[in-house]
Chain A
């Protein structure tokens, strides 16, 4: 029984590998990422195999997710945003699967590592910036100098805007990582209370833990949603320059 609630986040290699001095072992984090991808693929392909006009339960799950993201992309990015749908949907389903698979006992939550969320956030941020420069060229830089600012204040405002812009991937990554890590630590802490309080009193933390599991599942879905909605908003800024 591990007493340390943070021990669950330790990365353990399954197949140790080292190439050119870099440790690229296949870890349990990689394993669960693979499982997440497989689950997502199976969910979207197997359920849609029937292609029934009147969807069954499983087909309904897949269709609801598709429509949910399609609606979100359309609402934020308009008709033109359709080309970004694959990106947003991939981000959404990967984060969702990562969060939800993390709720399975004995599994590993790869979204509780800032390396993972940071990489995702940097991909989104980099892409949004690239889209901005490709669509508007150097004109995209006027984003940082708001209209109607006195000339004397412009350098200061521009510096603040640049920092604000650069802070986006950090806050995007940190939000998901912190939520996941805090939730899972809390679950472990209350489970630890149950163990130390014994059979009779230990029931109380157990009850709390049951409620927390429900809360965590909700947070898992909300955070996946927040991550994808922010992806949309960043792309929106890049597409329509004000």
Chain B
């Protein structure tokens, strides 16, 4: 009964951490996507949007350069890749960041990476 309050606070913190209740800001970021259906919807739109943009860009390039199926097919696959890149970024909490430089920076959070380009 006569425990000092700080000690109790530490115990509560330890217990919360053990049961995964203590959240870091990054956990919150991951949870922001809401329910699983919302997450699924998000993945679907990310993929489809990039596919649509890629294919349309290819079509437009073909119209412009007169190389009918070439760019449309190539850009379809690039759109596919971009779609998966979108999904990867949104699922790893790199919400829509462009440029893989930011992904590499994540683990050590250091400036050392800047020198390694």
Count: A-B pairs, CB below 8 Å: 101
Query: Would you call B98 and A160 a contact (CB within 8 A)?
Result: no
- Does A234 sit at the interface, judged by CB under 8 A? yes
Q: What chain A residues lie within 8 Å of B113 (beta carbons)?
A: 147
A5 vs B96: C-alpha distance in the bound complex, in angstroms?
A: 34
**Majority secondary structure, B binding face:** helix
Q: Bound state CA distance, A144 and B49, in angstroms?
A: 18
Given A222-B34, A234-B96, A242-B97, A147 and B50 contact (CB-CB distance below 8 Å): no
* CA distance in complex: A235, B92 (Å): 20
Q: Please count how many residues in chain B sit with their CB below 8 Å of the partner chain's CB atoms.
A: 36
The minimal Cβ–Cβ distance linking A237 to chain B, given in whole angstroms, is 6
Determine the chain B residues whose CB is within 8 A of the CB of A178 once the complex forms.
Answer: 41, 45
Alpha-carbon separation in the docked complex, A168 to B82 (Å)? 11
Q: A92 to B90: give the CA distance in the assembly, Å.
A: 21
Q: Does A210 contact B (CB under 8 A)?
A: no
Structural contact, B117 and A160, CB atoms closer than 8 A: no
Question: Hey, which chain A residues are within 8 Å of B105, CB to CB?
Answer: 242
Could you say which of A148, A163, A171, A219 contacts B104, with CB atoms under 8 Å apart? A148
Q: How far is the CA of A6 from the CA of B113 in the complex (A)?
A: 53
Interface centre among A159, A161, A163, A230 (most CB of B within 10 A): A163
A82-118 contact mask (Cβ, 8 Å, vs B): 1 or 0: 0000000000000000000000000000000000000
Q: Which residues of A contact B (CB under 8 A)?
A: 143-149, 156-157, 159-161, 163-168, 170-171, 174-175, 178-179, 219, 222, 226, 229-230, 233-234, 237, 242
